[in-house]
A and B are shown apart, each in its own frame.
Chain A
Amino acid sequence: MNPLLLLILIPALTMAGIMLAGDVKQARVISAVGMSAQLLFSFVLLYWFYQLRQSGNTDEMVFVSTTVWYPSLNIQLKFGIDGISMSMIMLTSIVTFAGVFVSWQVEYLTKEFFISLILLATGVFGFFISLDLFTMFLFYEVAVIPMYLLIGIWGSGPKEYSAMKLTLMLMGGSALLLVGLLGIYFNSAANGGPLTFDLMQIAKNGLPREAQMFFFPFTFIGFGILGALFPFHTWSPDGHASAPTAVSMLHAGVLMKLGGYGCFRVAMYLMPEAAHAMAWFFIILTTVSVVYGAFGAIWQKDLKYINAYSSVSHCGLVLFALLMMNETATTGALLQMISHGLMTALFFALIGMIYGRTHTRMIDEMGGLMKVIPFVSVLYVFAGLASLGLPGLSGFVAEMTIFVGSFQNVDTFHRVATIVACSSIVITAVYILRVVGILLLGPVRNNHYLELKDAMWFEKLGGVTLLVSIMIIGIAPLWLSNLLREPLAAMLNQLTN
C-alpha cells in the first residue's frame, strides 16, 4: 500500500474512534492521539523522503501510486509527493496537532467538533498528496465544507452570517475552479491520446494556447479566492473573526495554503503560457493585496480582524511571488506559505487563549496583559515578530527570499511592484507593534484581569509546538529551502518554456 494513504487513513480512523468514544474526555484523547500519530508519521515520511532522495532517486514525484478509479473518464486515484507537498504535509500536521490541543476545552458537542476539525484536515492532506485533478478537487471541497459547521456551531459573534459568507464565497471560487479544471481536462489531449486528469501527464502533454488563455483565469482566481486574492478576500476577516480558535488556525494556517498551492501546481504549472501572458494583471492585484491588507489591518480593533487582514497581506505576497515565476521567488512563496501557516496559526491560537480569558477581542478593552498572562503574551510577541519578519523567525526567511527573487526580474514593472510589496514590512511593523503596545504592554486596564490564569498545559503545548517550528525554520532555513527548491527547477522549466 502506498504509505501516503496513511495520511488519510489515520485521520479517518481517528474520526471513527471519536465517533465511538464514550465521553468528551475520550474523544479529546483520541483526537490528540490520532493527530500526534499523524504528526509522527509525517516526520517518518519526511525521513523516508530524504532517504529516497539520498539514495539517488530523482523522480519528480515519489511514493507514486496509481489506481484507475473511473476508467471511462480516466479518473485515477493517483497519489505522490515531492518536496513541496512534503513540506505542506508537515505544515498541516503540525497545525492540526496544535489545533487539537488548543481546542482541548471545547465543551459543546465535543465529538462533533473534533470530527469536523479532523475531517477538514483530512481534506487538506488528501489535497496535498493528490496528483489527479479530480481527487484534488474532491479533497479541496472536503476541506472547505466542514468550515461551515465549525464556524456556524462553535463560532462566536455573527457566526451564521460569517459561516455562510465564507462557505459561499469559497464555493463560488470552486465554481470557477471547476470550470477551469474541466477545461483543462478536455484540452488535456490536444495531440491525441485519452483525456486525463493526471497532473503530470497533462503537464507533459501541454495545453493548447487558446485553452490556456481561457481557462487560466478561472483556475487561478478559483484557487486565488481561497488564497485571499484581492478583491475576493472579504470572506477572510468575517470568517476568521467568527471562527473558533482551532478553525481559524487550520483555516488561515493550512486551508488558505491550498489556494496558493493550487495556483502554482495547477493553474501556473499546467498553463504556463497563459500564466506569462496574464501575470501582469495578477501581479497588480496581489501587490495591491499586500499593501492594502497591511493598511487595512492598521485600523482594525478586533484582534482577529487584524490578523485576518494581515493574512490577506501575507497571502497576497505568496501569490505575488509565485507570479514572479523564478526559482528564488517561488521558493520564497512556498516558504511564505509555510511560515505564514505556522505563525498565523500561532496568532489565532493565542487570540483564542486571550479571548477565552478576557471574553473580548477588542484591543482597546484590554491592556497590560503581559503582566497577567506572560506566557501567552510572550508567545504573542514572538508571533508578532515573526509576522513582521524578524530574522531568526520564519517570516524573515520567506520574505527575503521573495524580495530577492522578485527583484531578479529586470523590468521596471516587476521591480516597482517588488518595492511596493517590500514596503509592507514597515506597515506590518506598524500594526503589529500597535497591537502589542495596546494589548500586552502598558498598565493593566481592567482589574478583573489581574486574576486571569496563564496558559494551561495543553495550550502551552500547542503554542510551543508552533513557535518551535517557526524558530527552526527561522534559524536554519536551508534544509527547508532546499526541500522546496528541489522540484522547482523542473517545474519552472515548464513555466519558462
Chain B
Amino acid sequence: MTWNTLFIMRHEVLLTLLIMYELLADLSDETNRTRMVNVTIAGFFLYMLAGFVPSENAALFGGMYVNDELRVLLKNILSVSTFIVLLQSSGWAKSPIHQGRAGAFYLTLLSTLMGMFFMISAGDFLMLYLGLELATLPLALLASFDKEFRRSAEAGAKLLMSSAVSSAVLLFGLSLMYGIYGTLQMEDIAQMNLNSDIHTIAIIFFISGLGFKLSLVPFHLWTADVYEGSPLPVTTYFSVVSKGAALFTLMLVLYRVFRYQPEEWRMPLYTLSVLTMVVGNLFALRQKNMKRFLAFSSITQAGFMLLGFMNFGRIGMTTIVYFMLIYGLSNLAVFGVLSIIVRATGKESMDDLNGFYSTNPRLGLVMLLSLFSLAGIPPVAGFFGKFFLFTAAASAGMYILVFIAVLNATISLYYYLLVVKAMFINKNETPIPSIQSTFYEKLAIGICLTGILAIGFVSQLYEYIQGLM
C-alpha cells in the first residue's frame, strides 16, 4: 500500500473521504442545508477533477482491483454524470423538507457510485458482485427517500425485492462459473476458452443480473414504477449513472472476460435488444407522467445500446461507450429541465408542459435539443451515437436488427415529438410560469448542452475512446 496505490484508486479513495464527510455532517446534525450542499458539490467537483488526472494502469489487491485508462474514462463519465445529478438536485436537497436529510442522501448516493466504480474496476467476480450490491442496496433506500410519499416507499420496496432476485440469479450464474473455471479471477477466466451448456446458462444468468440493472426487457418491469416513485434526482441517477455502470460492466465482462465465447452472449443480447426496443417503445407511447415516460424511453435506449454488442471488436466497445456518454448527457439535460420544473411547480405530467415554450423559451429549447438527441436527430450528438451503434451492428452483418432498431428509433421519435408538441404546439390557458433557474441548474444544463452540441462534431473524442479499447 503506497501513495501510488491510493492515487490509482483515487476515485474510490476520494469518494470514501467524501462519504466520511457526509457521515460526519449527518452525525453532527448539520442544520445548514445550503452549506452542506455547497460543500458536497464543491468537494465532488474537486474529486471529479482529480479523476481526470492521468494515471498508470495497474492491477491491485492481487488482481481484485484493476484500473486502466478505459476504466478511468468510464468512471469519469459516471462522475460527471453524478456531478450533474448533484447540481440538479441541489434545489431539491436544499428544500425545507429535507432538513437533516442531505447527509444521508449524499452518503447513500455516493456509496452507490463507489459500488459502481468497483463494478467497473473489478478484477474478480467477487468484487463485481460486491460492487453491484453496493450500487443496488443503497439505491433502494434512495428510491424510498421521499418518506412522505407512499409512492416512494413502494418504489423502494419493489426495487429491493426484484433486485434481490436478480442478484440471486446473477450469483447462481457466478457460482456455476466458479464451478466451471475454478476461479473467479477475471484475468484467469479470460485465458480459458470453455464452451458448454452450463457455461451458457451461467452467462445468461449473469447477463440477466446485469440486464436487470440495465432494464432490458423482460427484466425491466421494475424500472417504470421505481422511476416514477423515486424522488427526481434519484430517478435521474437511475436512468443515467446506474444504467451506465451496468452497461460498462456488462461490456467489460463480455468483451474482456468472455471474449472467446462471443456467440454465447451475442444471440441472447440480440433477442433482448429486439424485445427491449419494441416493448420499451410500446409502453412509452402512452405515458403521460414525464418520469414514467422517461423510464420507458430509457428502456428503449438500453435496447439500442445492445446493438453495439453485436460487434465483437473495438468498434463495438467504442460505440457502446460513446453512445452511453451521449445518452447520458441528453437524458441528464431532459431531467435537468424536468427537475427545474418539478422544483418550481411540482408538476411532472406531460400535459403540464403544454405551452411551456411560450413562458420558458430557453428551457424549452434545451428540452427540444436533448429530446432530439435522444431520438437521434442531427445535428445533435444523439445522431452520431445512434449512427455508430447501427454501424457496429451492421458491421456484424445484422442488417435485420439494424432495420428493426431504426424503425424503433422512428417510433421513439414519435413520443419524443409528443413532448415537443406539448411544449411548442399545444396551447394552454395557464402554462407553467416563467421559472428562474439557479446557478447550479444552469451549470448542469450548460454542461449537458455543450456536450450534446459538440460531441458529434469533435471526432477526436470518438477516436480517443477507440484508442482505449
Contacts and interface: CB of A to CB of B under 8 A. Distances in A.
Determine whether A and B are in direct contact in the complex, meaning some CB atoms lie less than 8 angstroms apart: yes
A153 B410 contact: no
B421 A152 contact: yes
A20 interface: no
B420 A172 contact: no
Interface string B410-429: 11011001001100110000
Contacts of A70: 459, 462-463
Nearest to A108: B358
Contact of B372 (A145, A153, A172): A145
Given A152-B424, A179-B403, A141 B377 contact: yes
A153 B422 CA distance: 11
Contacts of A71: 459, 463
Given A178-B390, A178-B406, A179-B402, A171 B459 contact: no
A175 B407 contact: yes
A182 B409 contact: no
B255 interface: no
A121 interface: no
B162 interface: no
Interface string B80-94: 000000000000000
A142 B457 CA distance: 14
B145 interface: no
A362 B318 CA distance: 55
A72 B466 contact: yes
Interface in A96-150: 134, 137-139, 141-142, 145, 148-149
Contact of B391 (A73, A164, A171): A73
A156 to B, nearest CB: 12
B43 interface: no
A417 B107 CA distance: 75
Contacts of B409: 171, 175
Contacts of B388: 73
Contact of A171 (B395, B399, B413, B463): B413
A148 B417 contact: yes
B394 interface: yes
Per DSSP, chain B at the interface is helix
B394 A172 contact: no
B431 to A, nearest CB: 14
B378 interface: yes
Nearest to B372: A145
B379 A138 contact: yes
Interface string B304-317: 00000000000100
B219 interface: no
B420 A148 contact: yes
Contact of B399 (A75, A153, A179): A179
Interface size class of B (residues with CB under 8 A): 20 to 34
B427 to A, nearest CB: 11
Contact of A168 (B387, B395, B397, B413): B413
Interface string A146-178: 001100110000011001100110011011101
B44 interface: no
A144 to B, nearest CB: 9
Nearest to A69: B459
A172 B378 CA distance: 15
A185 B393 CA distance: 13
Contacts of A138: 378-379, 383
B85 to A, nearest CB: 29
A299 interface: no
Among B391, B395, B397, B409, the most chain A Cβ lie within 10 Å of the Cβ of B391
Nearest to B376: A141
A137 B409 CA distance: 15
A183 interface: yes
A186 interface: yes
A74 to B, nearest CB: 11
Interface size class of A (residues with CB under 8 A): 35 or more
Contacts of A182: 390-391, 394, 399, 402
Contacts of B377: 141, 145
A70 B456 CA distance: 10
Contacts of A145: 372, 377-378
Among B318, B388, B410, the most chain A Cβ lie within 10 Å of the Cβ of B410
A158 to B, nearest CB: 12
Given A70-B459, A138-B379, A167 B406 contact: no
Contact of A153 (B379, B397, B413, B424): B424
Nearest to A141: B378
B244 to A, nearest CB: 23
Contact of B410 (A160, A171, A185): A171
B394 A183 contact: yes
Contacts of A159: 425
Given A141-B377, A164-B417, A186 B407 contact: no
Given A69-B459, A160-B425, A175 B403 contact: yes
A69 B388 CA distance: 14
Interface string A58-79: 0000000000011111010000
A377 B447 CA distance: 54
Interface in A3-32: none
A75 B391 CA distance: 12
A215 to B, nearest CB: 8
Contacts of B407: 172, 175
B387 A134 contact: yes
A68 to B, nearest CB: 8
B424 A175 contact: no
Contacts of A134: 387
A138 B382 CA distance: 12
Interface in B363-391: 372, 377-379, 383, 387-388, 390-391
A279 B46 CA distance: 64
A377 to B, nearest CB: 33
B80 to A, nearest CB: 23
A179 B377 CA distance: 16
Among B378, B399, B420, B466, the most chain A Cβ lie within 10 Å of the Cβ of B378
A179 B387 CA distance: 10
Contacts of A174: 406, 410
Contact of A185 (B379, B394, B425, B463): B394
A142 B406 contact: no
Contacts of A179: 394, 399, 402-403, 406
A175 B388 CA distance: 14
Given A72-B462, A172-B407, A175-B407, A153 B395 contact: no
A151 to B, nearest CB: 9
Contacts of A148: 417, 420
A235 B394 CA distance: 29
Among A72, A138, A172, the most chain B Cβ lie within 10 Å of the Cβ of A72
Contacts of B399: 179, 182-183, 214
Contacts of A176: 403, 406
Contacts of B395: 186
B402 A178 contact: yes
A176 B408 CA distance: 12
Contact of B421 (A160, A186, A214): A160
16 contacts: A71-B459, A72-B315, A72-B462, A72-B463, A73-B391, A134-B387, A145-B372, A152-B420, A164-B417, A167-B413, A168-B410, A172-B407, A175-B410, A176-B403, A179-B394, A182-B402
Given A138-B378, A141-B383, A178-B387, 9 more contacts: A72-B315, A72-B318, A141-B378, A145-B378, A164-B417, A168-B413, A171-B409, A174-B410, A176-B406
Q: Ordered nearest first, which 10 A-B pairs have the shortest CB separation?
A: A175-B406, A182-B394, A171-B410, A152-B425, A70-B459, A138-B378, A179-B403, A141-B378, A145-B377, A172-B410
Interface of A: 69-73, 75, 134, 137-139, 141-142, 145, 148-149, 152-153, 159-160, 163-164, 167-168, 171-172, 174-176, 178-179, 182-183, 185-186, 214, 218
